Chains A and B, each alone.
Chain A
Amino acid sequence: MNTTTTTMPSQPLAPPNVARTSVRPRRSAWTPARIGIYAFLLVCAVFFLFPLYVMLITSVKPMEEIRLGNLFSLPVKVTLEPWAVAWSAACTGLQCEGIKGGFFNSIAIVVPSTILSILVGALNGYALSFWKPRGGTLLFGVLLMGAFVPYQVIMFPLVRAFAALSIFGTLPGIVLIHTIFGMPVMTLLFRNYYASIPNELFKAARIDGGGFWRIFLQLMLPMSLPILVVAVIMQVTGIWNDFILGLVFAGRDHLPMTVQLNNVINTTTGERLYNVNMAATVLTSLVPLFIYLVSGRWFVRGIAAGAVKG
């Protein structure tokens, strides 16, 4: 994001600005202006919430009610069957196994990819910040440019390289891909975090005889807890929501949930079961939504620190 300065505009270490309540124009009584403000916010809240509402109620309606064509009406008869079908019986082409396979595939992809990409990012950031290897700034600059390169540009050569290494379409292959594509942002995140740690601390550890790995593992990593949390949130949601990389690199046996969801909905033949489709969409979105609701401000911090991912 920033190749010439050592700090980011928004240091991940600093308390998020949003947390502070402002002393903006005084709170006044119910003037027309105040009513206007609330009206605007309310209308916007409805715009943002109604798709969620429609998705949820559609997923518990029987098809007969859906065919009546009232998108917003509450279900007369609540049924959980669409959820069960979506989970374990919905069809993609000839296979009718639901999207539960995709759920476990996504977990199998997300867990190692998150750990590996964060470890590599932390290591890069640590080495760049404290050991300042020759050419490190240049290397980091080129890496950051990589964050902006559209996937489509570098995808095909990687497919061929992975095929040559016979890891194309395997679990290690997709994990490696996520590590490669996550590296710019993860490195940036940790480099900026370590830049905010006083260098004296590092020097003291050096004088005490700490080597490269020992300082990293026993001093810096344990100190990185706040940024580790941000990194985990970013990587888990980002990798869970990935579609294009999973589609190309994961191979038929490891297709992530997003790809299976799209297959269930967009490749069905015969009558489209909208309730099942929406149940499958809810199921696929549960993990990132849960993380978002639980993590709150940490999620916003990740946006500020790593919005570069786009």
Chain B
Amino acid sequence: MSAAARPGSHWLRHGVVYAAMLPMLATVLFAYLGTVFWSVRVSVSSSRTLPSSDFVGMAQYTRLFASERWLLSLENVVVFGVIFIAACLVLGFLLAVFIDQKVAGEGVLRTVFLYPYAMSFVATGLIWQWVLNPELGIQSTVRALGFETFTFDWIATQDKVMYAIALAAVWQAAGLVMALMLAGLRGIDDSLWKAARIDGIPTWRVYMSIVLPMLGPSIGTAVVLLSVSVVKVYDVVVAMTQGGPGLASEVPGKFIMDNLFGRANIGLASAASTVLLLTVLALLAPWMYARARAARNGGHR
């Protein structure tokens, strides 16, 4: 393989390699870079039903952030995201730690905690829509037991509906965090536990002060994965509440879809999706930086 020895022969000799890479090249150029560029371009035009090529500066962005519906959807996704990520992390970590205590039936428990992750967000939303149904779901069941003032109507209450969606999403995704954390826990050397036992440190203390920091990379990965799914959340909302009651569970992902396909507002939707993209990049940047740094340090060791 002395391509460098004979300049020019590299491309010729490896033509087949480059030919095989064409699908990937085309995908990157057209499906990813090209579309992002297109969206950004349309976001600074006055496009409504069809894309137009004029230039209106930041007008669509001004319009976007003057839209109450958009502001509401941002607020909703923040509420949803904070609850969803925090609950998934706490629940996933606790499940992993407790499963890691040499419990009987570990395999069964793992299967039980992870199976919702195999289900679609649509099915998740529909199941929870039924379970939380105020007339026939948990609320009515508990009331029938004699607790007549029991109230659990999050899904039908404007200022609580995001909690209901977060609950369903946590049910679906907490098992993923558990699986990631469990892999991290099993990677911790047993000598740590022996040392801690000799020093007489209580187990919970070891978990909080030593194990948790050691799981940093797993936690980072989990946070990034969960955050990205928060930014683009769509299916579960559509299935569970269709954005209702009223507009109370509107989210950015749905706002964009509605404006693209329902309300013929391409320029506005493109501005919104550009905002979404920048959010994802802002979330990714520190994580990628940390990983790149860790990789470099690891290489020098």
A262 touches B122 (CB 8 A): yes
Nearest to B25 among chain A residues (CB) is A139
A residues 234-253 touching B (CB-CB < 8 Å): 237, 240-244, 248
B17 touches A127 (CB 8 A): yes
With A49-B112, A262-B126 already in contact, the answer to whether A4 and B295 are too (CB < 8 A) is: yes
* Interface assignment of A223: CB less than 8 Å from any CB of chain B: no
B126 touches A281 (CB 8 A): yes
Nearest to A72 among chain B residues (CB) is B141
B residues 181-227 touching A (CB-CB < 8 Å): 182-183, 185-187, 190, 193, 197, 203, 217, 221, 225-226
A180 touches B180 (CB 8 A): no
B225 touches A51 (CB 8 A): no
Nearest to A44 among chain B residues (CB) is B95
B-side interface mostly: helix
* Interface assignment of B102: CB less than 8 Å from any CB of chain A: yes
A residues 256-284 touching B (CB-CB < 8 Å): 258, 261-262, 265-266, 274, 277-278, 281, 284
Q: Which residues from chain A contact B203 at a C-beta distance below 8 Å?
A: 25
Contact with B along A16-29 (1 / 0, CB 8 A): 11101111110100
With A48-B171, A241-B120 already in contact, the answer to whether A10 and B28 are too (CB < 8 A) is: no
A residues 285-310 touching B (CB-CB < 8 Å): 285, 288-289, 291-293, 296, 299-300, 303-304, 307-308, 310
Could you say which of A78-86, A88-96, A150-158, A167-175 contacts chain B? Answer: A150-158
Q: Which residues from chain B contact A308 at a C-beta distance below 8 Å?
A: 225
B116 touches A48 (CB 8 A): yes
B113: which of A44, A66, A72 is its contact (CB, 8 Å)? A44
* Interface assignment of B68: CB less than 8 Å from any CB of chain A: no
* Interface assignment of A113: CB less than 8 Å from any CB of chain B: no
In Å, the complex CA distance between A45 and B16 comes to 53
Q: How far is the CB of B259 from chain A (nearest CB, A)?
A: 10
Nearest to A38 among chain B residues (CB) is B103
A148 touches B193 (CB 8 A): no
With A48-B171, A307-B221, A308-B225 already in contact, the answer to whether A71 and B138 are too (CB < 8 A) is: yes
Q: How far is the CB of A279 from chain B (nearest CB, A)?
A: 11
B120 touches A243 (CB 8 A): yes
B239 touches A180 (CB 8 A): no
* Interface assignment of B86: CB less than 8 Å from any CB of chain A: no
A143 touches B28 (CB 8 A): yes
Task: Report how many residues on chain B are interfacial, defined by Cβ distance under 8 Å.
Answer: 109
Q: How far is the CB of A173 from chain B (nearest CB, A)?
A: 13
In Å, the complex CA distance between A124 and B26 comes to 12
Q: Which residue, A152, A158, A308, has most C-beta atoms of chain B within 10 A? A: A152
Q: How far is the CB of A178 from chain B (nearest CB, A)?
A: 12
B274: which of A52, A153, A241, A289 is its contact (CB, 8 Å)? A153
Q: Which residues from chain B contact A289 at a C-beta distance below 8 Å?
A: 115, 118-119
In Å, the complex CA distance between A206 and B13 comes to 13
A274 touches B119 (CB 8 A): no
Q: Which residues from chain A contact B98 at a C-beta distance below 8 Å?
A: 37, 40-41
A258 touches B180 (CB 8 A): no
Q: Which residues from chain A contact B150 at a C-beta distance below 8 Å?
A: none
A67 touches B273 (CB 8 A): no
In Å, the complex CA distance between A308 and B269 comes to 26
* Interface assignment of B157: CB less than 8 Å from any CB of chain A: no
Q: Which residues from chain B contact A55 at a C-beta distance below 8 Å?
A: 127, 130
In Å, the complex CA distance between A261 and B124 comes to 12
Q: Which residues from chain B contact A307 at a C-beta distance below 8 Å?
A: 176, 180, 221, 225
B103 touches A131 (CB 8 A): no
A288 touches B119 (CB 8 A): yes
B127 touches A54 (CB 8 A): yes
A5 touches B295 (CB 8 A): yes
Q: Which residues from chain B contact A18 at a C-beta distance below 8 Å?
A: 110, 179, 182-183, 186
| A/B interface sample: 19 pairs, CB < 8 A | A18-B179, A21-B102, A22-B102, A24-B101, A50-B131, A52-B127, A69-B140, A120-B23, A133-B21, A136-B21, A243-B122, A243-B235, A262-B126, A274-B130, A281-B123, A285-B120, A292-B118, A300-B179, A303-B180
A residues adjacent to B (C-beta < 8 A): 2-5, 9-10, 16-18, 20-25, 27, 34, 37-38, 40-41, 44-45, 47-52, 54-55, 58, 66-67, 69-72, 120, 123-124, 127, 131, 133-134, 136, 139-140, 142-143, 145-146, 148-158, 160-161, 180, 183, 187, 206, 211-213, 237, 240-244, 248, 258, 261-262, 265-266, 274, 277-278, 281, 284-285, 288-289, 291-293, 296, 299-300, 303-304, 307-308, 310
Which 4 pairs, one residue from A and one from B, show the smallest C-beta to C-beta distance? A241-B120, A292-B118, A154-B35, A150-B232
